[in-house]
Amino acid sequence: MTPRRRTLLPRSAAGGPAPPASGGTTRSAAGRRRTSLARLALRRVLAGLATLLAVSVLVFVGTEVLPGDAASAVLGRTAQPAQLERMRELMGLDRSVPERYLDWLGGVLTGDLGNSAAGYAQGTEISIWDDIRGNVANTLTLAVLVVVLMIPLALLLGVLAATRVGGTRDHAISLGSLAVVSLPEFIIGSLLVVVFFSWLDVFPPVSLVPPGTSPLERPEILVLPTLTLLGATLAGSTRMVRAGMVEALRSDFVQMARLNGLPERRVVLRYGLRNALAPAVQVFAQNVQYLIGGIIVVEYLFSYPGIGKELVDAVAIRDVRAVQSIAFLIAAVSIGVNIVADLFVLVLVPKLRTGRA
Amino acid sequence: MPEALRFTRTGAGAVGVAILVLLVALAVFGPFLAPHPLDRPVGIPYEGPSADAPLGTDFLGRDVLSRTLWGGRSVIALAGIAVLVAYAGGLAVGLAAGYSRGLLDPILMRAADVLLSLPALLFLLVLVTGLGSSRVVLVLGVALIQLPLIARIIRSATQAQSVRGFVEAAAARGERTSAILARELLPNIVPTIAADIGLRLTYAIILVASVNFLGLGLQPPDADWGLMVSENRSGLNLNPLAVLAPATLIALLTIAVNLVGDAVARAQGVSATAVGARA
């Protein structure tokens, strides 16, 4: 069915290669597809949950390879044996590893992230969720801002480069993105601070957000973190969009559309971009993974009170439970984004629904 | 020109190689040229450039030039070793999975999926929490992050080769699996490795430098470019060179490695972007 669809494409111009519903001509096929789409979606979600479960084991085991150490790491070297004993009890280190794992996982799944060791060290109980609630909102603000700017920009630059393959415009965009894609986030960020703070003095080098307020109240503090993350993610996305577009524009159906006399703009947007979009969506999802790593670094660099900064602080003092819970949350988001992207691609490219290797 | 050096014929490849050679020379010989000891102050903190300290002083008043000359070794060496370890593991896993007809393949690949579903830096932070900050943890962590990606690439290259005639002929001759893997398959996936290795190295450098920047890798008073950027951030207005010098060198290093990797990949007829983006 797939190859024939392709050759038919130029004539059913309005439909394009990838529309979910292209009129009533193939209604029975569409009906069959819908059930299989639901099944594929279900399978993808279940696989994602299984992965998350495996990741939870990985995170737990990874952080607790040296179990006895956690209490002394929090209290420091001057701790008395009696203090250590009590700390171990509070942190639950006197119980077996599987017991602790199930306890933690059950808590996380029901919304109880546990108490931070930093709180125990101060002699009180600090719930990790209460501690990070504001940070989650701050991080989401930053992440959404970056994604909302990154996707249209990547599509625009990628299409601009791909429509002039080998030209000056293409070379400038490709070389520029190759240079930027290889830079660590903290280098991009530090260089931006040198330019925009030390030299021009227009944006602050740190992005502190007082507790209880939103970073959006002082948008100037978001500029440099956003620019840094855009630099880190935009370059990779642009390269991928360009690659996808170049391939799509070389294909038979684009040639056919051109030969049929369609205006070039319509050919590029309707036939090229639509087909380049499927790989691009997965690249964007991948980029969310880099974005997560980048956010951790950028929040630390700008002292932005987000979940990444909280995580680095927790790692620095070996607050095992806080690291586990925050890492699990971040991993869950990352896996979730990838599931959504895969589902989106399934809707976008009917070809993929026919069977899987 | 030997076949293996064909990639230097492109402008970008030649520039990349030149920068890379300079930087490696800097890392190897730089410490012998350092005018001051690493851990002793030569002036007040964040002094500007002077005859005695051409790049000024850092947050403890130490000589930035000397520390910059020392600071490249750790990044280059740790990232290089990590990539070698990752390739050793990734080759073994990828060849085994690609040539296996049994359950080994799906099991190994699902394990790779799980490792890959964690953002790289997050995985490193989890490891550091459990094992502490040290060079060994850093190398091991970066290698473990790269391993599944390498294994995936090697696996698909192996699968593509293993149905070819000369492999089936070797199997029909009754050769041992290890001999088939080493003599028939491995030489034929070398181009795939060559196209991929620059990308792995770039990413390893980024990760090593980032963890050092976060203060969770090498510990003071070690001199390391990533750590230096982090340590001297607060004095940007007093002596920006203390940040700019190491930051520029890291930038040059990653760009050069990426340029070389890209040129090698193109010379092999494989576009680096086809192999994978940053990870």
**B5: DSSP letter:** G
Which pLDDT score is estimated for B210? Answer: 94
> How much is the average pLDDT of A320-344?
88
Residue A220 has pLDDT above 90, yes or no: no
Of all residues in chain B, the percent with pLDDT exceeding 90 is 44
In this prediction the pTM is 0.84
Which pLDDT score is estimated for A13? Answer: 37
Pairwise pLDDT comparison (B278 vs B165), residue with the higher score: B165
Range of the domain at B156: 3-278
Which pLDDT score is estimated for B3? Answer: 63
- Does A330 sit within 8 Å of B122, measured CB to CB? yes
Say which of B117, B121, B237 has its CB closest to residue A55: B117
Distance, CA of A109 to CA of A114 (rounded, Å): 11
**B100: DSSP letter:** -
Taking the Cβ of residue B216 and every Cβ of chain A, the question of whether any pair is shorter than 8 Å is answered with: yes
Asked if A51 and B114 count as a contact pair (C-beta separation under 8 A), the reply is yes
Q: What is the distance, to the nearest Å, from the Cα of residue A175 to the centroid of all Cα atoms in its chain? A: 25
Which pLDDT score is estimated for A237? Answer: 83
Selected residue of A186, A233, A317, A325 to mutate for chain B interface (largest B Cβ count, 10 A)? A186
- Does A334 sit within 8 Å of B119, measured CB to CB? yes
- Does A54 sit within 8 Å of B130, measured CB to CB? no
Distance, CA of B226 to CA of B120 (rounded, Å): 17
Give the confidence band of A245 by pLDDT, cuts at 50, 70, 90: confident
Q: What angle do CA A51, A57, A62 make, to 5 degrees?
A: 120
Distance, CA of B239 to CA of B2 (rounded, Å): 46
> According to the CATH classification, is domain A131-320+334-348 in 1.10.3720.10?
yes
Which pLDDT score is estimated for A69? Answer: 62
- Does A243 sit within 8 Å of B271, measured CB to CB? yes
Residue B175 has pLDDT above 90, yes or no: no
User: For the segment B219-230, what is each residue's pLDDT rounded down to a tens digit?
Assistant: 888 899 999 999
Distance, CA of B180 to CA of B158 (rounded, Å): 11
Residue B26 has pLDDT above 90, yes or no: yes
Residue A150 has pLDDT above 60, yes or no: yes
Beta bridge partners of B57: B63
Q: What's the mean per-residue pLDDT of chain A? A: 79
Distance, CA of B217 to CA of B140 (rounded, Å): 12
User: For the segment B85-111, what is each residue's pLDDT rounded down to a tens digit?
Assistant: 999 999 999 988 888 878 888 888 888
Q: What angle do CA A333, A334, A335 make, to 5 degrees?
A: 95
What CATH number is given to the structural domain containing B129? 1.10.3720.10
**What phi-psi label fits residue B46: left (phi over 0), alpha (psi between -120 and 50 degrees) or beta?**
left
A vs B, Cβ pairs < 8 A, gives 160
- Of A271-285, B37-51, B253-267, give the lowest mean pLDDT range: A271-285
Total structural domains within chain B: 1
Pairwise pLDDT comparison (A245 vs A36), residue with the higher score: A245
Which pLDDT score is estimated for A339? Answer: 87
Secondary structure, 3-state, chain A: CHHHHHHHCCCCCCCCCCCCCCCCCCHHHHHHHHHHHHHHHHHHHHHHHHHHHHHHHHHHHHHCCCCCHHHHHHHCCCCCHHHHHHHHHHHCCCCCHHHHHHHHHHHHHCCCCCECHHHHHCCCCCEHHHHHHHHHHHHHHHHHHHHHHHHHHHHHHHHHHHCCCCCHHHHHHHHHHHHHHCCCHHHHHHHHHHHHHHHCCCCCCCCCCCCCCCHHHCCHHHHHHHHHHHHHHHHHHHHHHHHHHHHHHHCHHHHHHHHCCCCHHHHHHHHHHHHHHHHHHHHHHHHHHHHHHHHHHHHHHCCCCCHHHHHHHHHHCCCHHHHHHHHHHHHHHHHHHHHHHHHHHHHHCHHHHHCCC
Q: What is the distance, to the nearest Å, from the Cα of residue A237 to the centroid of all Cα atoms in its chain? A: 12
Alpha-carbon gap: B277 to the closest alpha carbon of chain A (Å): 6
Residue A30 has pLDDT above 50, yes or no: no
Spans of all domains in chain A: 131-320+334-348
Give the confidence band of A307 by pLDDT, cuts at 50, 70, 90: very high
Which pLDDT score is estimated for A353? Answer: 62
Residues from chain A contacting residue B132 (CB–CB below 8 Å): 66
Distance, CA of A311 to CA of A113 (rounded, Å): 14
Distance, CA of A271 to CA of A277 (rounded, Å): 10
Helix (H, G, I), strand (E, B) or coil at B63: strand
User: For the segment B194-203, what is each residue's pLDDT rounded down to a tens digit?
Assistant: 888 888 999 9
Residue A98 has pLDDT above 90, yes or no: no
> How much is the average pLDDT of A80-88?
77
